[in-house]
Amino acid sequence: MSRKEKIAVIEELLTIIPKHKGTERLRGDYKRRLAGLREEQRQGKGQGRSGGGFVRVEREGAGQAALVGPANAGKSALLKALTKAGPEVAPYPFTTRFPLPGMMAFEDIRIQLIDLPPVSTEYCEPWFPEILRQADLWLLVLDLGQDPLAQMEEMRRNLAGFHLGWQGAAPPDPRPAGWKEQPLVIAANKLDLPDGMDTLELFREMLAKPFPVFGVSAEEQMNLDDLRKGSFDALGLVRVYTKIPGREADLKTPFLFKKGSTLLDLAGAVHRDFIQKLTFARIWGKNTYPGQKVSRDYLLADKDVIELHV
Ligand X SMILES: Nc1nc2c(ncn2[C@@H]2O[C@H](COP(=O)(O)OP(=O)(O)OP(=O)(O)O)[C@@H](O)[C@H]2O)c(=O)[nH]1
Question: b/e string for 194-210 if b means 16 or more Cβ within 10 A?
Answer: eebeebbeebeeeeeee
- Quick one: which of 23, 64, 83, 95 contacts ligand X (CB under 6 A)? 95
Write out the binding residues for Mg ion, residues 96-115 only, by CB under 5 A: 96
86 binds ligand X (CB under 6 A): no
What does the alpha-carbon distance between residue 261 and residue 258 come to, in Å, rounded to a whole number? Answer: 6
Task: Find the helix packing angle between 24-43 and 3-16, rounded to 10°.
Answer: 150
60 binds ligand X (CB under 6 A): no
Write out the binding residues for ligand X, residues 194-223 only, by CB under 6 A: 217-219
| 3-state secondary structure at position 180 | strand
CB 211 within 8 A of CB 152: no
CB of 3 to Mg ion, least distance (A): 22
- Quick one: which of 89, 135, 237, 306 contacts ligand X (CB under 6 A)? 89
The smaller minimum CB distance to Mg ion, of residues 10 and 308, is found at 10
284 binds ligand X (CB under 6 A): no
Q: What share of the chain is helix, strand, coil (3-state, %, to 5)?
A: 35, 25, 45
- Quick one: which of 1, 8, 35, 90 contacts ligand X (CB under 6 A)? 90
The smaller minimum CB distance to ligand X, of residues 187 and 240, is found at 187
CB of 194 to Mg ion, least distance (A): 23
| 3-state secondary structure at position 308 | strand
Task: With CA atoms as reference, report the closest residue to 231 among 105, 131, 75, 108.
Answer: 105
Segment contacting Mg ion (CB under 5 A): 68-76, 134-142, 183-191, 244-252? Answer: 68-76
Selection from ligand X, Mg ion, none that 218 binds (CB < 5 to 8 A by kind) is ligand X
Selection from ligand X, Mg ion, none that 230 binds (CB < 5 to 8 A by kind) is none
189 binds Mg ion (CB under 5 A): no
What does the alpha-carbon distance between residue 300 and residue 265 come to, in Å, rounded to a whole number? Answer: 9
The smaller minimum CB distance to ligand X, of residues 7 and 71, is found at 71
280-284 and 304-309 as β-strands: parallel, antiparallel, unpaired? antiparallel
Segment contacting ligand X (CB under 6 A): 88-96, 106-114, 258-266, 271-279? Answer: 88-96
101 binds ligand X (CB under 6 A): no
Task: With CA atoms as reference, report the closest residue to 83 among 223, 252, 218.
Answer: 218
CB of 74 to ligand X, least distance (A): 3
CB 175 within 8 A of CB 102: no
The smaller minimum CB distance to Mg ion, of residues 77 and 184, is found at 77
Beta bridge partners of 284: 305
Q: Could you write out the three-class secondary structure of 244-298?
A: CCCCCECCCCCEEEECCCEHHHHHHHHCCCHHHHCCEEEEECCCCCCCEEECCCC
Q: Exposed, middle or buried by CB within 10 Å (0-12, 13-18, 19+), for 281?
A: buried
193 binds ligand X (CB under 6 A): yes
CB of 164 to ligand X, least distance (A): 18
CB of 85 to ligand X, least distance (A): 12
Task: With CA atoms as reference, report the closest residue to 102 among 80, 135, 133, 72.
Answer: 80
Q: How many residues bind ligand X (CB under 6 A)?
A: 24
The smaller minimum CB distance to ligand X, of residues 76 and 199, is found at 76
Residue numbers at the binding site for ligand X (CB under 6 A): 69, 71-77, 89-91, 93-96, 117-118, 189-190, 192-193, 217-219
Residue numbers at the binding site for Mg ion (CB under 5 A): 75-76, 95-96
